[in-house]
Each structure stands twice: as structure tokens, then as C-alpha cells.
Amino acid sequence: MTTMNLPLVSTCSAEGCSYNHDHDCHAAAITITGATSACGTYVDEAAKAGVDATGQVGACHRSDCVHNSALECGAESVEIGAGADVADCLTYSAAG
């Protein structure tokens, strides 16, 4: 997989994150972590940050997700928003 076809963050409702610009993620690449699919890239700093492009999923530790292969996300895009944490991957789906 090249960075050209990493899954896009289609929308993110975690408005408190520095990378969040009007529900668009502007981190170059996010990492999904842990048992709750938390966005490990979330950061609450005063200044807005990131790149001039929509964020992508660089890595995902949620190996039990149907979209996960070798700790990479194979979904076309993901939605991030409040779940168990302030920002979780809402596209997570438990593998059968």
C-alpha cells in the first residue's frame, strides 16, 4: 500500500482537536489505537495545525476490525467521532 491509497478520514466531529478544521481532519496521517479505536493523533492545542490536505489513516492497531490487515486499514474511508473516547474510529466493525 502506498500513501496514495490510504483510507481518507471522510469526516471528524472532534472539534476540540487542533487538526480539525470544520470537521475535516488535516493531520497527514492518523493512528488508531487501543481497545476503543481511539484516534491516537488527537491533540487539544490552542492553535490549528496540520497539512493542507485531508487526513488519512496511516496505521491502525485494531487488528480485530473487519477492515484491518497487518495493522493497516483497508476501508475506503473512515469516520471519526466521539465514542468511548473523545475521538474514536466509528467505522470499526468487529471481524466475524
Positions in 26-65 near ligand SF4 (CB under 6 A): 32, 37, 57, 60, 62, 65
Q: How far is the CB of 58 from ligand SF4 (least distance, A)?
A: 10
Give me the half-sphere count of Cα atoms (radius 13 Å) on the Cβ side of residue 67.
21
Triad 43, 21, 52: Cα angle to 5° = 95
State yes or no: residue 68 binds ligand SF4 (CB under 6 A).
yes
Coil/strand/helix, residue 4: helix
In the complex, the residues that contact ligand SF4 under the rule CB under 6 A are 32, 37, 57, 60, 62, 65, 67-68, 73, 75, 78, 89, 91-92
